[in-house]
């Protein structure tokens, strides 16, 4: 799931913008398949569940870049502004998640989004400052998040990965294990970008990426909110052909 460019639109890291842009395109592709199947009962190769891997890959790319960019931004932000910036970002993104909750409660009342990718990114923005000191050790902590066994819980534990029995949602990304991907990204960001970009990444930084791909990466949050209405507007008339 998407986020705005937290390195203030800086052009020093085009490879990260390109990676996030690729994630945006994968997100649009998956949602096109999902909308065609879920809302318009269009046949898909295999079935919708068989395309879940595409959603997982997309989320992983988004969350990795969020972790990497966060450590770069944290270093570049004056100390007195770090927490206010994190709180503001968390509030904006989590509010976006609540808009998605309301919209899906109306459109998909049987499986609304209670804690989706935007809720996860908003909550992660609050938690990330607490893990900045762990540096590259965040990689191990993040891997550890995937070792925590899944268990049945209740509505209060749902954000942490322990939903109540019978819970169904079209988009569910709890902190466990998905915050682990953010932590792995933070560890990689410290390893590969601080105090300077690793020489092994210079090749990726020098690639002449398409401008439109970089634009998609830098405007991921905007595209997240716009692409679904556009997809539905395109798919609706197609069902009559």
Under 8 Å between Cβ of 235 and 40: yes
- Flag whether 7 is in a domain: no
Q: Which residues contact 148 (CB under 8 A, 6 or more apart)?
A: 161, 176, 177
Confidence of residue 50 (pLDDT cuts 50, 70, 90): confident
Q: How many domains does the chain have?
A: 1
Nearest Cα neighbor of 127 from 75, 178, 191 is 178
CA angle at 94 for the pair 57 and 235, rounded to the nearest 5°: 55
Would you say residue 155 has pLDDT above 90? yes
CB burial class (10 A; 0-12, 13-18, 19+) of residue 16? Answer: buried
Asked whether residue 5 is domain-assigned, the answer is no
- The tokens of 162 are what? 């322990």
- Taking residues 94-120, what's their average pLDDT? 96
Residue 6 within any structural domain of the chain: no
Residue 110 inside a domain? The answer is yes
pLDDT at res. 48: 67
Q: What is the pTM of this model?
A: 0.91
* Separation CA 97–CA 12 (nearest Å): 29
Q: Looking at the domain assignment, is residue 33 inside a domain?
A: yes
* 2 located within any domain: no
**Domain for residue 144, yes or no?**
yes
Residue 56 has pLDDT above 60, yes or no: yes
User: Please, what is the average pLDDT of the chain?
Assistant: 92
Does 94 have pLDDT greater than 70? Answer: yes
Number of Cβ within a 10 Å radius of residue 225: 14
pLDDT, position 12: 81
Residue 46: pLDDT band by 50, 70, 90 thresholds?
Answer: confident
| 86-105 mean pLDDT | 96
Q: Could you give the percent of the chain with pLDDT greater than 90? A: 83
Residue 36 belongs to what domain range? 14-200+207-238
User: Residue 22 falls within a domain, yes or no?
Assistant: yes
């Amino acid at each position: 799931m998407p986020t705005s460019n937290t390195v203030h639109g800086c052009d020093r890291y085009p490879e990260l913008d390109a990676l996030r842009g690729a994630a945006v395109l994968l997100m649009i592709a998956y949602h096109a398949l999902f909308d065609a199947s879920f809302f318009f009962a269009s046949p898909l190769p295999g079935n919708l569940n068989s395309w879940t891997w595409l959603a997982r890959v997309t989320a992983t790319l988004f969350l990795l870049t969020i972790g990497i960019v966060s450590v770069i931004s944290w270093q570049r932000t004056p100390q007195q502004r770090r927490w206010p910036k994190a709180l503001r970002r968390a509030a904006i993104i989590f509010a976006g998640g609540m808009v998605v909750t309301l919209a899906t409660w109306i459109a998909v009342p049987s499986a609304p989004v209670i804690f989706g990718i935007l809720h996860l990114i908003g909550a992660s923005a609050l938690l990330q400052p607490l893990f900045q000191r762990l540096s590259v050790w965040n990689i191990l902590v993040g891997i550890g998040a995937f070792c925590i066994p899944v268990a049945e819980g209740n509505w209060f534990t749902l954000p942490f990965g322990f939903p109540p029995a019978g819970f169904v949602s079209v988009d569910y990304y709890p902190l466990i294990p998905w915050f682990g991907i953010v932590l792995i990204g933070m560890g990689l960001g410290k390893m590969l970008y601080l105090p300077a970009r690793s020489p092994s990444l210079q090749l990726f930084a020098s690639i002449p990426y398409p401008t439109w791909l970089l634009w998609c990466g830098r405007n991921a949050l905007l595209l997240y909110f716009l692409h679904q209405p556009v997809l539905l507007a395109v798919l609706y008339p197609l069902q009559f052909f």
